[in-house]
Chain A
Amino acid sequence: MQNTISQIQDPLTIAGETFTSRFLLGTGKFKNKKDLADSIESSGSQIVTVALRRIDIETHEDNILQYIPKNIKLMVNTSGARNAKEAIRIAHLAKETTLSNWIKIEVINDSKYLLPDNVETIKATATLAAEGFVVLPYMSPDLYAARELVKAGASAVMPLGSLIGSNQGLKAKEFIRILIDEIDLPVIVDAGIGAPSQAAEAMEMGADAVLANTAVATAQNPALLAKAFRQAVEAGRLGYLSGLPSQKSDAHASSPLTGFLYEK
C-alpha cells in the first residue's frame, strides 16, 4: 500500500544527526542582519553556514552569530583558505570561536572562477576528520575525488551545481548524478543554484539536500525567496520519493521486447 504523504518520515541524516529540513542556507552577502535572520527563519533551514572570516567576535552588537538561533546547527566554512594547511588552521580557529565542530571545507585557489581544489580538500578532510571534526567538503563533482573524500572520513559531499555565485543552476548535473548513484554519503548540491526551480531539479534527481546563498542574499525580498527555496526543495524531494517516471534510468518493470522469453 502506498504511504500517505503524512506518513512519510524522511529525515536527512548527517554524522548520526537527523534533520527534517533539506535546505541549507549560507549567510554571506546579505544587506543587513535582519534580512539574514528573517531568511533563516523562513527558509526552515536547520543547518546554516558562516564564514569564519566574517565572524567578528570582538563586536558583540553586530556579531553574525547572534542572528543564528541556538537550535540551528552552525557549520563554519573555511572561506579564504587556499590550501589544506590554511583550511586546517581556519577549522581549528572556528572550533575555538564557535565551539561547533561541523566544518565545511572550502579550499579555493583561483580567484577568477572560485573553483574548489579537490586535491587539497581531500587532504584537509582526512586531517580534520581524524581529529574528530564533522567534515562536509565543498568540491567539484568528480567521482574519484568523491571516493577519496569518503575514504578520508567526510560526512557528506557538497558538489557544486555551477560556478559559485553564478546563479547558473545545475550545469554539472550529469556529474552530480554520478555522485548520487555511486556515493553512499549524503550529496548536498552547493553553489550556483540561482532559483527555486533549480533547487527542485537537484532534489528530483536524488540529491539529499541543497545549499543556497547568493540568490537569497541578493534578492529584492530575501526572506520570501528563502521560503520559495524551502518549498522547492520539499517539492523536489517528494517528486524524487514518488519515483518520478522521468527519473527511471534503468530497471524498467516491463520488458516489451524480451518478456516473451520468460513467459510460461
Chain B
Amino acid sequence: MTSLNDIRKILDNPDPRLTEQLAQQSAALTRQYFGRTIALYAPVYLSNYCSSHCTYCGFHSKNNIKRARLTPEQTEKEMRTLAQTGIENVLLLTGESYKATPVSYLKEAVVIAKKYFTGISIEVYPMEVQEYRELFEAGVDGVTVYQETYLRERYKEVHLEGKKSDYDYRYGTPERAGQAGVRQISIGILLGLSDDVAQDLHLLYEHLQFMEKNYPGVEYSVSFPRIRTIKGREFALSLVDDAAFIKIICLTRIHFPRVGINLSTRERPEIRDRAIHLGVTKMSAGSSTAVGGYEILEKTQQEPQFDISDHRSLNEIIAMLKTQNFDPVLTDWRPINNK
C-alpha cells in the first residue's frame, strides 16, 4: 500500500500531469475489471428520527426539523413509485434511532422492498451480528456504514451524543455485517469533516484491507460523499476541491482494482458524467433524500438529509450513460433465499 507520506504528497501535488497520470491508470483498471458498465440505484428514506447528535447532519437529534417515519402502507407506496421509474436496486435509510425504527420495523420494510426490487441494501444504525443476520435472512444483500472520519479526535468533535459517538463500535460494524453473511459492504469517508484527508484515506485503506483479508467473500465498495450545506450545520468545513476529489477516486481504484466506487447525487452532473470514466462503478439516480420524497409528501413539506446536486431522472441518467458508451446496469443480483 502507498505510505501515508506518499498519499499526502500525491494529494498535495498541484501538477495536472500527475492527476492525468493517476486518471489514466485508474481508468484502465476500471475498464479491465468492470468493463463499460455502471450500476444504478436509488435511496428510500424510511425515517429521519435520530438519537445521535452529529454536527454535520440534517437529521441530528437537536435539529428542529419535521420528523417522519413511513408506515408500512406509505413504504409500499414510496417503493412502488420508485420501482415504476425502473430502479431495481434500493438503499433503505433511516436516522440513527433504534427506538423509532427497530429491527422489526426494518424487517417489515425489507419484506415490502423484496416485492419491488432485486437488490436491497440498508444504511441505518450499526447493529449486532444477530440483528444483521436477521435482516440478511429477510432479504438484505448489502450494508452501508461510513466511519465518516477515521481520525479519532475529529470523530469525537463531530459526534457529540448517542450511539454514534462510540468510534470503536462503529469501526467494528462492517466486521459484524461480514460475520452475519452480508454479501455487499460499503464503507466510506465524509469528505470535508477532517482537514487531513490523506490520513483519513490511509486509515480507510487499512480498514478495507483488513476486511478483504478477513471477510474475503464480501463484495466491497467505497464512497466519498463530499459535505453539502445542511440546515443547522455547526462547524467549519474542510472542503475538498474537484481535483483532490478526482485524485482520491483514482488512488482508491489503483489500490483496490476490484472494489466498487460509488458516487451519489450530491455531486454535480459535470463531475458525475466525468467520474464514470475514471473509476466510479456505481451511482444513484433520480434520488430523493427526504422521507416520503417520491410519493408521500409535497416538496414543500420535505426535510432532505442533504441537498442533491444532480436532479436528473433515472431515464436521463440512463440516456447520458448510453451516450457515453456505458451499459447502465439496473439488475446485478437475483435474490436467492438467504436462509
The chain A residues found within 8 Å of chain B, CB to CB, are: 28-33, 52-56, 58-59, 80, 82, 86, 89-90, 93, 108-112, 114, 165-167, 214, 217-218
Contact = CB atoms under 8 A, between A and B. Distances in A.
A112 B258 contact: yes
A30 B327 contact: yes
The residue among B88, B220, B258 with the most chain A CB atoms within 10 A of its own CB is: B258
Q: 9 nearest interchain CB pairs?
A: A29-B35, A31-B36, A109-B217, A110-B216, A89-B336, A56-B331, A82-B217, A31-B325, A217-B35
A63 B34 CA distance: 19
A56 B119 CA distance: 12
Nearest to B335: A93
A25 B182 CA distance: 31
Given A56-B330, A112-B212, A167-B32, A29 B37 contact: yes
Given A80-B333, A112-B216, A30 B36 contact: yes
A31 B332 contact: no
22 contacts: A30-B35, A31-B37, A31-B325, A31-B326, A32-B36, A53-B331, A54-B332, A55-B331, A55-B334, A80-B334, A82-B183, A89-B336, A109-B217, A110-B217, A111-B212, A111-B220, A111-B258, A112-B258, A214-B32, A214-B35, A217-B35, A218-B35
B322 interface: yes
The binding surface of chain B is classed by DSSP as loop
A225 B287 CA distance: 38
The residue among B31, B86, B88, B327 with the most chain A CB atoms within 10 A of its own CB is: B327
A54 B325 contact: no
B218 interface: yes
Contacts, number: 77
Contacts of A59: 86, 330-331
Nearest to B141: A80
Given A56-B88, A86-B336, A111 B217 contact: yes
Interface of B: 31-37, 86, 88, 183, 212, 216-220, 258, 322, 325-327, 329-334, 336-337
A149 to B, nearest CB: 21
A112 B211 CA distance: 11
Given A80-B334, A217-B36, 6 more contacts: A31-B326, A54-B329, A54-B332, A59-B86, A109-B216, A111-B218
A171 to B, nearest CB: 16
Given A89-B336, A114-B258, A28 B35 contact: yes
Contacts of B329: 54
Contacts of B37: 28-29, 31
A89 B337 CA distance: 8
B332 A53 contact: yes
Nearest to B218: A111
Nearest to A213: B35
A150 B86 CA distance: 43
Contacts of B258: 111-112, 114
Nearest to A82: B217
B219 A53 contact: no
A109 B181 CA distance: 11
Contacts of A108: 217
Contacts of A86: 336
A214 B325 CA distance: 16
Given A112-B212, A112-B258, A165-B33, A31 B336 contact: no
Contacts of A33: 327
Nearest to B37: A29
Given A89-B337, A112-B216, A29 B330 contact: no
Nearest to A94: B334
B334 A93 contact: yes
Nearest to A166: B32
B315 to A, nearest CB: 12
B32 A32 contact: no
A2 to B, nearest CB: 43
Contacts of B88: 56, 58
Given A53-B333, A89-B337, A93-B336, A29 B36 contact: yes
A108 B258 CA distance: 14
Contacts of B331: 53-56, 59
A139 B95 CA distance: 44
Contact of A52 (B219, B327, B334): B334
Contact of A218 (B31, B332, B334): B31
Contacts of B334: 52-53, 55, 80, 90, 93
Contacts of A111: 212, 216-220, 258
Nearest to A86: B336
Nearest to B33: A165
A53 B88 CA distance: 12
B300 to A, nearest CB: 34
A162 to B, nearest CB: 13
Contacts of B325: 31-32
Given A53-B333, A90-B334, A31 B216 contact: no
A104 to B, nearest CB: 15
B217 A165 contact: no
